[in-house]
Amino acid sequence: MKTALKIILPLILIGMLAAGGFVFFQSVDVAVLNPQGEIADKQRTLLLFASALSLIIIIPVYMLLVFFAWRYRDSNKKAAYRPNWANNKWLEITWWGIPCILIAILAVVAYRTSHELDQFRPLDSDVKPVEVQVVALQWKWLFIYPEQQVASVNLMPVPEKTPINLSLTSDAPMNAFWVPSLGSQMYAMSGMSSKLHILANHTGDFNGSSANISGEGFADMAFTVRSQTREDFDAWVDATRGHAEGLDMTLYEELAKPGTVDQPVFYTLADAQLYDKIVMKYMMPPASDEKSEDEQDHESHDAHMGHEMEGM
């Protein structure tokens, strides 16, 4: 009876932990496990598939660990003692063959999904995508809509079931744009423009943040992606155009100063080249009135040759 209890009680404990974990994930909204977009849904499927394959190894290993610890405990005199038993070819094939097969399966899946879920790959859709230019600032996010000629801070309205083509850069330390409910994350770096494509299948507000620690104020770099109907999105664009302040380079320089905002801010886009200027400001050589020694020597040489030609 005592032996049976020692076996049954651990099994009951494991069952309770499994049931508790199931209830927890059912009651708590874990964004990566509750996708609201096409990309996020495929990523969840991949995550669950890889986890299931891993459990094929993990569960038997831990079960054998408990079995060996119990079977070959010091007090069990009935356990067979085999000091000269070196190996068993069938066991060797099992515990080497199964992991090799699983790794091969994961390799094929990883190769295929790496291309299918490539962040630079546009999404297949009959709906015209919306272009959004994203700028990571200290400590806020600027979203520019070049086609709609509007911009916003810390709120990114998008129409549902519409591909969103994101161009990302940074006018601050390197950051990472991430909306767990909608899919992949992508780094935003100064002097570079990266690409990311997302799509929201449903209306709603989805939390986004920086997934890269970037110093003081990093914790405040949160934003919201607001998925809404096309009519509501167009109404927001029209309202912003009619009442918001114009965003040009002068106003942008004030906005880009380190600081946080409590509420989303909206602008009309007064400078259509604003995003390109933000990217290029880190790529242009610094202006200098002083000429280098090589330039001065080159000009002196040209002047000397000019005088010689005049004297001929």
pLDDT per residue of the chain (312 residues) written in tens, 0 to 9: 566 666 677 677 777 877 777 676 666 667 777 788 888 888 888 888 988 888 888 888 888 888 888 888 888 888 887 777 777 888 888 888 988 999 999 899 989 888 888 888 898 889 999 999 999 999 999 999 999 999 999 999 999 999 999 999 999 889 999 999 998 889 999 999 999 999 999 999 999 988 888 778 788 889 999 999 999 999 999 999 988 899 999 999 999 999 989 899 999 999 999 999 999 988 766 555 444 445 555 545 444 444 444 444
pLDDT of residue 308: 46
Q: What is the pLDDT of residue 290?
A: 47
Q: Helix 38-71 and helix 89-116: axis angle, to 10°?
A: 160
Beta bridge partners of 247: 269
Measured in whole angstroms, the distance separating CA 86 from the mean position of its chain's CA atoms is 49
**What was the pLDDT predicted at 253?**
95
Instruction: Of 286, 124, 139, 120, give the one whose Cα is nearest residue 214.
Output: 139
Which H helix or E strand runs over 68?
helix 38-71
Contacts of residue 208, Cβ cutoff 8 Å, sequence gap at least 6 = 141, 156, 177, 178, 179, 222, 223, 224, 225
Residue 43 phi/psi, 5° resolution?
-70, -40
Q: Which residues contact 127 (CB under 8 A, 6 or more apart)?
A: 161, 162, 163
Pairing label, strands 141-145, 130-136: antiparallel
